[in-house]
Amino acid sequence: MQGYSLNKRILVTGGAGFLGSHLCERLLAEGSEVLCVDNFFTGTRRNIEHLIGNPRFELLRHDVTFPLYVEVDEIYNLACPASPVHYQFDPVQTTKTSVMGAINMLGLAKRTKAKIFQASTSEVYGDPSVHPQPESYWGNVNPIGPRACYDEGKRCAETLFFDYHRQHDLRIKVIRIFNTYGPRMHPGDGRVVSNFIVQALKGEDITIYGDGNQTRSFCYVDDLVEGMIRMMASPDDVTGPVNLGNAGEFRISELAEAVLRLTGSNSKLIRLPLPQDDPKQRKPDTTIAERHLDWAPEVGLEEGLKRTIAYFQSVDLGAR
């Protein structure tokens, strides 16, 4: 395993977002220099304001669909809206961000010989017919549906990563992230964990889409960031794709009940229509992460929800 030397220069795209801000924090704590690039589409300055002032931290407002010329040793490419509400708001920009963003960051990696990491997603498996999902499963994605801008954008980004690896010998690291939650999720971003917690804390109805029997596996952010760091530090022949996620699988109705219990809220559960192409089930096969990264998540759903609830209790939810 390669260790982290002092003053490694690391670019984090999407660094002002939910996952990116935790990653920047962790990289700074390890002694690296961090260049955080973000266009603030879904990320906010608030997520990283505690890092501003650290002499090893630099913030650049920039859209990754445009070229970027900087000198770095490693690149974590996270720029892309992640919640269905946000990525469907401007779907053309979502595809551009994934595809043109990947081309620009891969071009940058090629020129600087930087190692480059891609935050891909379990959405590449679409509405999966294989359960749980191993990396070898090619997926079941509707290429023309409302989720396609995200799913196909991320699939094309993976293609680009592997072609730059084969054609230009780039050192690549591709992970597929399964639903991850925690402090600094945007309260209005529409994802299920943030929606349910915010609704419970505000005494609003809890919105269950469909019958609530669809499943997801929820990973706490600290576990995910640990997996990201291990992936970047792994030997060059570990290119991925590697699934990172918590294998605990819950029905959405179970999540709603857990949130009600842990917040002590009296909110009512209501049913709303299931969005088109909403995957019915999702659970990672994490055998490869265990074997190659010696990684396994440590924070269970109950503990992770408690920490996330504490965060949402500390922010102004009126602003969402």
CA distance 54 to 31: 11
Q: Per rule CB under 6 A, is residue 72 in the interface with ligand UDP?
A: no
Terminal-to-terminal C-alpha distance of the chain: 42
User: Residue 217 in contact with residue 14, Cβ under 8 Å?
Assistant: no
Q: Per rule CB under 6 A, is residue 91 in the interface with ligand UDP?
A: no
Q: Is there a cis peptide before residue 241, judged by omega within 30 degrees of 0?
A: yes
Of the residues 179, 194, 199, 253, which one makes contact with ligand NAD according to CB under 6 A: 179
Q: Per rule CB under 6 A, is residue 275 in the interface with ligand UDP?
A: yes
Of the residues 214, 243, 246, 308, which one makes contact with ligand UDP according to CB under 6 A: 214
Nearer to ligand UDP, 12 or 229 (CB): 12
The option from ligand UDP, ligand NAD, none interacting with 17 (CB < 5 to 8 A, set by class) reads ligand NAD
Q: Which of 125, 156, 150, 148 is nearest to 138 (CA)?
A: 125
| DSSP per-residue string spanning 7-29 | T-EEEEETTTSHHHHHHHHHHHH
Residues 6+ apart with CB under 8 A from 49: none
Nearer to ligand UDP, 230 or 283 (CB): 283
Residues involved in catalysis:
150
* Residues 97-116 close enough to bind ligand UDP by CB under 6 A: 103-104, 107-108, 110-111
Minimum Å gap between C-beta 147 and ligand UDP is 8
Nearer to ligand UDP, 133 or 195 (CB): 195
Cα radius of gyration rounded to whole Å, the chain: 19
Q: Per rule CB under 6 A, is residue 180 in the interface with ligand NAD?
A: yes
Q: Per rule CB under 6 A, is residue 19 in the interface with ligand NAD?
A: yes
User: Residue 270 in contact with residue 204, Cβ under 8 Å?
Assistant: no
The strand ranges marked E within 143-276 are 172-177, 180-181, 206-209, 215-217, 219-220, 242-244, 249-251, 269-272
Of the residues 32, 97, 133, 195, which one makes contact with ligand NAD according to CB under 6 A: 97
Which residues bind to ligand NAD, rule: CB under 6 A? 13-14, 16-20, 38-43, 63-65, 78-82, 97, 101, 119, 121, 177, 179-180
